[in-house]
Structure 1
Amino acid sequence: MRNIDGIRLIDATLRDGGIVNDFYFTDECARAIYEANVATGIDYMEFGYRADKKMFDVNEFGKWKFTTDEDIRSIVDENNTRMKISIMCDVGRCDYKNDFHKKNESPVDLIRVATYIDTISECIEMIEFAVKQGYEATCNLMAVSKCSTSQLVKALDMLAASPAMGVYVVDSYGALYPEQIRRLTTLFYDMLTPAGKLVGIHAHNNQQCGFANTLEAYNNGAKLLDATAYGMGRGAGNAHMEALVGYFNGRKYHIGPLLDLVEKHMLDLNKQTVWGYNTSYMLTGLTDNHPRSAIAATKKKEVNFREQFDALEYK
């Protein structure tokens, strides 16, 4: 039986999946995801972003772009379960000093702060504020494939001294292979565990490595493992939660409720809003580029793959 001591599975379907459908999930669907996660034994469910309503038009997005405490409670009530509730906030896109209420007034347990390498100081300020308010907090270091080793060492040194619970390797572009994930996870582990921090992994599936990369990170010390139901997420999507639960199935996690969720909700969602591997997404992953061009090509049903590759290769 596989060692699951200390691992925590985080479901990001409403948050990363929300990028696909502008966060327009029905309450029925959100509640079904919540109930399936509870029954499966998932450790955390991320309900969405807490974006600044002064920066984003509330009429252009569903409520999980903003994820108020009231909206969460409408799904979970008092959340009398062992599963914890998470939200994500981007550096520079969240009015955190006004929107992070005291933990004892909120159903949220964990605040995950997403940052690029050049805004680590701002990320740590947000983490410090969140922890003072009573929350757990992590740093989700995006686009790690674009970072040099020296940049990472400097950032990890700062984060090791912060009150963050953990730090994530985030393969935003789905550009990394298992051997690269192994190297990065080892670096994060070696620099963070002496300070009592956990290492996390958030993988994208542009090159069909999302699940393999998640397992590679786990096998090299990562304890915070992200995934989504049926892989729902931006572009090529994420590691599939049902596959990850299947890997650990039996002692702590139980795959049956997730399979029901996929059958009853995710298959229809995938027909309404397209995500998942295709050649355009593979090319942006291969060339370590943001998937915006592949998203546009997919919407237009373009299949001029050689032209797409040449445009990416020489950027």
Structure 2
Amino acid sequence: MKEVSKLLEVRESIRVVDATLRDGGLVNDFYFSDEFAKALYLTNIKAGVDYMEMGYRADKEQFDESKFGPWKFSSDEYIRKIVGDNDTDLKIAIMADVGRCNYKEDIHPKAESPVDLIRVATYLHQLPGAVEMIEDADKKGYETTCNIMAISTSSKEDIKAALDIVCQTPISCVYIVDSYGSLYPEQIERIADLYCNAAAKYGKKVGMHAHDNQKLAFANTIEACGDNVDFLDATYNSMGRGAGNCAMELLLGFLKNPKYKERYAIKFVEDYMMPLKEQGVVWGYDMQYLTTGLLNQHPRTAIEFTKQARKDYFAFYQEMLNLD
């Protein structure tokens, strides 16, 4: 059990990262209105959020622009349309996936960009590519972090080796990523210890990005927080791929630093997230996502189940057991 002081104290090193446009964009192909994006930006400022992830910097040669909204590509020009010169304390971030971003051409020098942070996302087998991207972004003047995805399918030895490699790069933070929403708080405690020990060796911080397949995204995030993880990802009303993520309104309500103000998050959920759901955008916990979380599987099959408006949850569960 965590010491009460771990959960009640104000820890100045904590940073809250809003991933709504990016992870939430996976739900609606990044078709957010400019009004939505601007309101989200202003809400983050008022709520005390530290970073706003504006979307992906995806390669337009790999992804058809006509099939996605602007935040799939989050160009510097489009970001400026929303944030202007961003003369605020809120830092702007984008995510760049290894193998899906033409980073040498599409990520411009920091002096020419409104972006502060490049979040490099990688699987273990892509780590050499991630190192190249991190070093490139650092040379261009950006803060960098690294999200090592799908760690629930990797061995402890492989994770330790990966951490030793990535923590020697210029990143400021390495993320625990529960991509499949399959991890439990007891596991997060052990994983956080592994990450924090590796990160401390090189003076790095650790972050947490959770998914809600088993309704544990918030629990796992505050568990990680109590285990000295500093960078905490969240999305408004949990909007994110499949079952979604840790809810911003929950996280801000939990954190004790008075700079974080959940009332603005609650107002944004009422004004903008509820209308999205009323328009038919679907995300959040459901039985199909529970199934893939329990079985530690990628949620792509559950996402397809959702798109087909299937309701035969037990048949799907049986199908997944046969695939496992």
Class of the TM-score when normalised by the shorter of the 2 chains: over 0.9
State how many pairs are aligned: 315
Alignment partner of 1:301 out of 273, 285, 309? 309
Within 2, Cα distance between the matches of 1:166 and 1:50? 19
Conserved 8 A contact 1:4-1:248 = no
Within 2, Cα distance between the matches of 1:263 and 1:62? 23
Deviations 1:173-193 (A, max 9, x none): 101111111111110001111
Alignment partner of 1:95 out of 102, 113, 120? 102
1:99-248 paired onto structure 2 within 5 Å: 99-248=106-255
Alignment partner of 2:36 out of 14, 29, 32? 29
> What is the TM-score of this pair, normalised by structure 2?
0.95
Within 1, Cα distance between the matches of 2:181 and 2:39? 28
Alignment partner of 1:260 out of 258, 267, 282? 267
**Aligned partner letter, 1:224:** F
Alignment partner, residue 314 of structure 1: 322
Within 2, Cα distance between the matches of 1:62 and 1:251? 35
Conserved 8 A contact 2:10-2:256 = no
Structure 2: runs of 5 or more not aligned? 1-7
Q: Indicate whether 1:47 and 2:20 are aligned.
A: no
Within 2, Cα distance between the matches of 1:219 and 1:101? 37
Q: Indicate whether 1:277 and 2:252 are aligned.
A: no
Deviations 1:216-271 (A, max 9, x none): 11111110100001100011100000100001155121112111101110001122
Alignment partner, residue 78 of structure 1: 85
Cα shift at 1:293: 1.2
Within 1, Cα distance between the matches of 2:163 and 2:277? 37
4+ residue runs over 6 A deviation: none
Cα shift at 1:301: 2.5
Within 2, Cα distance between the matches of 1:292 and 1:271? 24
**Aligned partner letter, 2:244:** G
Alignment RMSD (CA, Å): 1.0
**Aligned partner letter, 1:19:** L
Alignment partner, residue 3 of structure 2: none
Deviations 1:128-179 (A, max 9, x none): 0000000000110111111101110110110121111111011111011111
Deviations 1:103-123 (A, max 9, x none): 111000000000001111110
Within 2, Cα distance between the matches of 1:260 and 1:2? 26
SS at match of 1:59: helix
Conserved 8 A contact 1:141-1:167 = yes
SS at match of 1:314: helix
Structure 1: runs of 5 or more not aligned? none
**Aligned partner letter, 1:148:** S
Cα shift at 1:297: 1.4
Conserved 8 A contact 1:103-1:133 = yes
Cα shift at 1:5: 1.7
Within 1, Cα distance between the matches of 2:123 and 2:144? 16
Alignment partner, residue 5 of structure 2: none
Deviations 1:28-67 (A, max 9, x none): 0000000000000100000000000010000000000000
